[in-house]
Chains A and B, each alone.
Chain A
Amino acid sequence: GENVEQHPSTLSVQEGDSAVIKCTYSDSASNYFPWYKQELGKGPQLIIDIRSNVGEKKDQRIAVTLNKTAKHFSLHITETQPEDSAVYFCAASDEVTGGGNKLTFGTGTQLKVEL
Chain B
Amino acid sequence: SQTIHQWPATLVQPVGSPLSLECTVEGTSNPNLYWYRQAAGRGLQLLFYSVGIGQISSEVPQNLSASRPQDRQFILSSKKLLLSDSGFYLCAWTSGGLYNEQFFGPGTRLTVL
In whole Å, how far is A2's beta carbon from the nearest beta carbon of chain B?
Answer: 11
Q: Flag whether B43 is at the interface (Cβ < 8 A).
A: yes
Query: Is A18 part of the binding interface, using a Cβ–Cβ cutoff of 8 Å?
Result: no
Interface-located stretch among A58-66, A68-76, A91-99: A91-99
Q: Are A43 and B107 in contact, CB atoms less than 8 angstroms apart? A: yes
Question: Which chain A residues have a beta carbon within 8 Å of chain B's beta carbons?
Answer: 32, 34, 36, 41-46, 49, 89, 93, 95, 97-98, 100-103, 105-108
A108 pairs with B57, CB closer than 8 A:
no
> B: which residues have CB within 8 A of A?
32, 34, 42-44, 46, 49, 51, 57, 90, 92, 94, 96-107, 109
Query: Complex: how many Å from CA A45 to CA B104?
Result: 7
CA distance A36 to B44 in the complex (A): 11
- List, in ascending order, chain B residues with CB within 8 A of A46's CB: 101-103
A41 adjacent to B109 (CB under 8 Å) = yes
A66 → chain B closest CB, angstroms: 15
Complex Cα distance A95/B32, Å? 13
Q: Are A34 and B42 in contact (CB under 8 A)?
A: no
* CB pair A44 B99 closer than 8 Å: no
Question: Are A95 and B90 in contact, with the CB atoms below 8 A?
Answer: no
The CA-CA distance from A80 to B106 in the complex, in Å, is 25
Chain B residues whose C-beta falls within 8 Å of the C-beta of A107 in the assembled complex: 42-43
A106 — which chain B residues lie within 8 A by C-beta?
43
